[in-house]
């Protein structure tokens, strides 16, 4: 090792302008420093003094960091150039070996992470100093408004590993996701944003390594500023952390050029350091008493189920998250974030969720974050952990109430009815269609705060919801004990794959019902990659450790898959036609609504019909912001065909619609029929037949009946 460079003694006055406590991390080119010096600053409240080690010219160097104040250690470092690997170590503590042969403490603000073989077959991680320079080529950010947004949740690797039109060397990479074959497909499908499972650098938990598996989903973050290197192409990885960083930026640039926004799934609730007492990677060695949440006896307080919880009652932890978010917006041009287990980020010193927590207030007040989409997963496993609808204005919440209501009405209830039982009423599915006012209206939010989804990465795919009564997670190596046992699924009479044409037809119709409800509900829809054509995970509802064909999207579509894809495209276009002029607010009173509800006889719904489980037919007339009627959606949740009466002018007026005579209904779409009835027209008061277990959509227009 090279002769250590001696730093300014701890406690002494450091020369004016020699280094700064802020910004935290490693920064070159600051005007306060001499040319060639790099500012190094780390928040390490658990250490009296800190050394930084860095690699240059084939050898490792060391410098003492001056303790500025309040746990921040900093110093100017000559020779820590772009591309250099570095790490921290407690000053005065014996080194386990030569630097580079053991795990130095990672910089919480490291812009890049590189790996190297470690002792006993393990892996060492090194922070890397990277340059922010990148040619964005003038690619504009799409700035898609919430009301026009359709989100597509995908895994960087899994989306393209099996894609036949993506070159083999790009499959499973950032560059592969931005390939024209993928961006063109997504635009043609009708989505406006890709929501990527975590791309922050993450590690695999020890129990997965023992099983020969990996954390495929990536919810085990080790560095909040560095992209995960394994998703980069081989060419980029050869360039090191800088190459990985540049490839991620190129992905965002090319997605923007295609008109697609990029939303990152971020995991600030816990870190990869796991349980108390496990080896330190970064935060634990720098000051676990401050970074992590503890109970009154000094034990980790875990509201994540992952071994630790970052303590967002600490200002520097809040700053870490905010600095990371701003960095990804400013330096990577991302368009939004989905926050994993978001209540954990808004728990105060009393460990309770606070809707006005400083982190949430800061997000609302921050000029950079005001311009991007903020999406919460509004639950964790701590006290009062379910907070759907309780995040502040400006946020959208993953709406699990929508998910459960749609699954119950179209899937679980159908299984119950086929078994001779009784399904639920239309009340909950109506609430889902209406934007879940019961959750969001009281908190001053709009239907756009409802991020509607029926499936996500966690749980069954849409195809598996219709193909399995129970989970089949044996591949995870946990004896099928992991994953949810309450899926609201139904296999339509056969568990798993089948060649029975009747079963397959009924499964396909159920999938159409779900897609149609997702597309035509108020709120913001989110699709899970592959659901639009029936991707299966072979019944695995917790495929977090399956980096293989179980999780990868199979683009080899069968006839059913091609049919569902065609219908999904039609439905997303129909959504634009139905909902583009919606005011997207909840009515101030029951007498002013842009959603008008009718029963099978075309009469306004009355209370007793809302809660009657024997009534599973509902008609919804959608009105535009200007009062113009846009369309009609009819649901039939019975096992038999049902005849309906289309609402006439008198019924519409009695429900509050300002409408004259001459309106006509044009059939646009049915989940149960392949017959195209577009162009035919019916008048209010006419009868129509709605097939069993189906949804139908109509356009309202003027002109004579056919």
3 is catalytic: no
Name the CA dihedral angle for 94, 98, 104, 109, rounded to a multiple of 10 degrees. Answer: 120
Q: Within 10 A of 32 (CB to CB), how many other CB atoms are there?
A: 12
* Calpha distance 376→397 (Å, rounded): 5
DSSP-H helix ranges across 239-384: 241-257, 283-291, 315-332, 358-365
Taken in order 445, 449, 452, 457, the sign of the CA dihedral is negative
Hey, which residues does 299 pair with through a beta bridge?
A: none
Query: 603 with 593: CB under 8 angstroms?
Result: no
Tell how far CA 412 is from the center of its chain: 25
**Omega before 23 within 30 of 0, i.e. cis:** yes
Burial class (CB in 10 A: 0-12, 13-18, 19+), 318: buried
6's tokens: 């001696």
Q: Which residue out of 37, 153, 340, 648 is catalytically annotated?
A: 340
Residue with tokens 């306060």, as numbered in its chain = 32
Quick check: helix, strand or coil at residue 532? helix
CA distances from 699 to 593, 632, 659, 683 (A): 19, 6, 15, 12
Query: 155 with 551: CB under 8 angstroms?
Result: yes
Q: What are phi and psi of 85, to 5 degrees?
A: -85, 145
What is the full DSSP assignment across 535-599?
Answer: ---TT-S-GGG--STTTS------HHHHHHHHHHHHHHHHHHHHHTT---S--SSTT--SEEEE-
* Calpha distance 501→468 (Å, rounded): 17
Planar angle of CA 587, 589, 590, nearest 5 degrees: 95
User: Could you tell me which of 328, 343, 357 has the C-alpha nearest to residue 268?
Assistant: 343
* Calpha distance 402→434 (Å, rounded): 10
Q: Which residue out of 302, 311, 377, 666 is catalytically annotated?
A: 377
Parallel, antiparallel or unpaired: strands 687-690 and 642-645: antiparallel
297 is catalytic: no
Taken in order 229, 230, 235, 238, the sign of the CA dihedral is positive
Q: Which residues are catalytic?
A: 340, 377
């Amino acid at each position: 090792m090279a002769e250590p460079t001696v730093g300014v003694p701890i406690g002494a006055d450091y020369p004016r302008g020699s280094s700064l406590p802020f910004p935290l991390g490693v920064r070159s080119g600051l005007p306060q420093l001499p040319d060639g010096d790099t500012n190094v600053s780390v928040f390490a409240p658990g250490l009296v003094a800190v050394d930084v080690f860095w690699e240059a010219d084939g050898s490792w160097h060391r410098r003492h960091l001056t303790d500025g104040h309040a746990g921040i250690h900093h110093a100017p470092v000559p020779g820590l150039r772009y591309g250099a690997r570095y790490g921290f170590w407690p000053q005065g503590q014996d080194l386990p070996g030569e630097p580079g042969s053991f795990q130095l403490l990672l910089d919480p603000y490291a812009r890049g992470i590189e790996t190297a073989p470690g002792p006993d077959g393990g892996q060492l991680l090194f922070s890397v100093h990277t340059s922010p320079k990148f040619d964005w080529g003038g690619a504009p950010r799409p700035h898609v408004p919430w009301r026009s947004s359709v989100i597509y949740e995908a895994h960087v690797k899994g989306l393209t590993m099996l894609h036949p039109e993506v070159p083999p060397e790009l499959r499973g990479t950032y560059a592969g996701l931005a390939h024209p074959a993928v961006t063109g497909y997504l635009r043609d499908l009708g989505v406006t944003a890709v929501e990527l499972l975590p791309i922050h650098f993450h590690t695999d938990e020890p129990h997965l390594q023992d099983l020969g598996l990996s954390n495929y989903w990536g919810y085990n973050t080790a560095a909040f500023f560095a992209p995960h290197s394994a998703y980069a192409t081989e060419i980029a990885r050869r360039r090191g952390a800088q190459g990985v960083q540049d490839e991620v930026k190129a992905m965002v640039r090319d997605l923007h050029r295609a008109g697609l926004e990029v939303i990152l799934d971020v995991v600030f609730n816990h870190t990869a350091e796991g349980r108390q007492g496990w080896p330190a990677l970064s935060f634990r060695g720098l000051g676990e008493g401050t970074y992590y949440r503890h109970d009154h006896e000094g034990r980790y307080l875990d509201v994540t189920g992952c071994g630790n919880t970052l303590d967002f009652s600490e200002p520097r932890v809040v700053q870490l998250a905010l600095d990371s978010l701003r960095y990804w917006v400013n330096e990577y041009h991302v368009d939004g974030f989905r926050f994993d287990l978001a209540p954990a980020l808004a728990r105060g010193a009393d460990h309770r969720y606070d809707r006005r927590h400083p982190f949430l207030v800061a997000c609302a007040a921050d000029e950079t974050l005001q311009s991007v989409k903020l999406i919460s997963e509004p639950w964790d496993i701590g006290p009062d952990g379910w907070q759907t609808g309780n995040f502040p204005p400006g946020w959208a919440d993953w709406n699990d109430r929508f998910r459960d209501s749609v699954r119950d009405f179209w899937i679980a209830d159908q299984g119950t009815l086929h078994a001779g039982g009784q399904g639920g009423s239309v009340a909950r599915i109506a609430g889902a269609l209406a934007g879940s006012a019961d959750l969001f209206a009281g908190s001053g939010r709009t239907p756009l705060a409802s991020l509607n989804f029926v499936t996500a990465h966690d749980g069954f795919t849409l195809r598996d919801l219709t193909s399995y009564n129970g989970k089949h997670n044996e591949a995870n190596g946990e004896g099928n004990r992991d994953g949810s046992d309450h899926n609201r699924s139904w296999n339509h009479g056969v568990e798993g794959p089948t060649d029975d044409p009747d079963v397959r037809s009924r499964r396909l119709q159920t999938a159409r019902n779900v897609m149609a409800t997702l597309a035509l509900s108020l709120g913001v829809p989110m699709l899970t990659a592959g659901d639009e054509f029936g991707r299966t995970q072979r019944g695995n509802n917790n495929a977090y450790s399956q980096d293989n064909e179980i999780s990868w999207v199979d683009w080899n579509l069968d006839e059913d898959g091609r049919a569902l894809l065609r219908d999904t495209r039609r439905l997303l276009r129909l959504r634009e036609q139905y909902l583009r002029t919606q005011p997207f607010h909840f009515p101030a009173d029951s007498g002013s609504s842009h959603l008008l509800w009718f029963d099978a006889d075309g009469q306004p719904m009355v209370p007793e019909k809302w809660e009657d489980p024997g009534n599973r037919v509902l008609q919804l007339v959608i009105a535009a912001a200007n009062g113009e009627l846009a369309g009609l959606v009819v649901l039939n949740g019975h096992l038999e065909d049902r005849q309906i009466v289309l609402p006439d002018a008198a019924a519409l007026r009695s429900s509050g619609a300002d409408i004259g005579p001459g309106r006509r209904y044009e059939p646009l779409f049915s989940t149960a029929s392949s017959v195209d009835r577009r162009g035919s027209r019916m008048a209010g008061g006419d009868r129509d037949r709605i097939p069993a277990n189906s949804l139908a959509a109509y356009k309202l227009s003027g002109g004579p009946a056919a």
